[in-house]
Chain A
Amino acid sequence: MNWKRALIAVIASVPIIALFAFGFTRNPAEIPSPLPGRDAPVFRLAVFAPGEPPLSRSVGDTIRLPDLRGKVVVLNFWASWCLACRDEHVALSETARGYAGQPAQFLGVLYNDRPAAGLRWIADMGGQSYPSVTDQRSRTAIDYGLYGVPETFIVDTQGRIAYKHLGPISEAVLRQWIDSLMPKRTAPDTALRARLR
């Protein structure tokens, strides 16, 4: 009779063990965002860090999301007090430089920080190729469902959020998403043939 009890105990414990096993494969810090696939929240933010030519914008310029329609937008939330932001800084700055002249716009959004501290941080890090903007009272951060920094959003040419990245982002991930969302250009030979016809 004891083997029957043992069998019942095994059968009863299987779903519990399976539940625990599933739980251990999940990252509790990673909460699925409802934003990818939806229209990116519209923002209107003022530049405080100009960036470097050819990507620079004047300090005080207002950048509006609707004005960036037709470009792939990389929106990176950062702060001078964020240690992990240091890890992704070079990748972001260099990748942005690599897409200069193409329909891609990199934009830093300062989160819960003072612009003066942000400017000092940029100088300490050896510069930032693209402009950064301030977000008064974190309204844009809340609109984007921000948990912390760094977080990066990639917006497609139609103004929809294609991807949300938690934590430091790498050049490989940036390039993969930007290239997949970049408007397809007509190959030169195809365009020439079309004109000759």
Chain B
Amino acid sequence: MTRVAPRIVVIATVAFCMAQAAFAQDSVARQAPGLAVSDSALEARTAAVAATLRCPVCQGESIQDSPAELAQQMRAVVRDRLRAGETPEQIKAYFVSKYGEWILLEPAMSGLNIALYVLPVLLVVGGLVFVVFLVRKWTTPPANAN
């Protein structure tokens, strides 16, 4: 009897600790999915905005893709501003007010920027018309062939 009692105490203590641990894990498991979802949603929104902003110390990279320290710090600014309730447009406007339109990887389609979008299309269409004109000229037999 005297040998059994300490064993029962040890078993009871271990069982109690395991139950506590299981309860704690359960409560974490119940909270974690919610936290993970909101964090991953914020991260996804941060990544979406960061992908549109140019890294000032890189060559043609977004602050989302760049490992540069300044890019990481700018991503943190994006995250903090999203968390504070700002919209992606407000955040982009903040960076434009500091760095100019240059900071946007895709310039806004307004003013002179329209030329950036329209000129390539015009050049391609003009080039195609020119090629068609030349091919037709080369393939048409001369009128006085006969």
Contacts and interface: CB of A to CB of B under 8 A. Distances in A.
Given A112-B69, A147-B57, A142 B77 contact: yes
Interface string B116-142: 000000000000000000000000000
Interface string A136-161: 01110111111110000000000000
A142 B77 CA distance: 9
B76 interface: yes
Contacts, number: 40
B56 A147 contact: yes
Interface string A98-140: 0000000000000010000000000000000000000001110
A34 B95 CA distance: 11
Contacts of A144: 98
* Residue picked from A33, A41, A145, most chain B C-beta under 10 Å: A145
Chain A binding surface SS class = loop
Contacts of A139: 73, 77
A146 B96 CA distance: 12
B57 A143 contact: no
A35 interface: yes
A138 B100 contact: no
B98 A137 contact: no
B70 A112 contact: yes
Contacts of A32: 100
Given A147-B56, A147-B57, A148-B57, A138 B98 contact: no
10 contacts: A41-B98, A112-B69, A138-B69, A138-B73, A139-B77, A141-B70, A142-B73, A142-B77, A145-B100, A148-B56
Given A31-B102, A41-B98, A141-B70, 12 more contacts: A32-B100, A33-B100, A34-B98, A34-B100, A35-B98, A137-B73, A138-B69, A142-B73, A142-B74, A142-B77, A145-B99, A145-B100
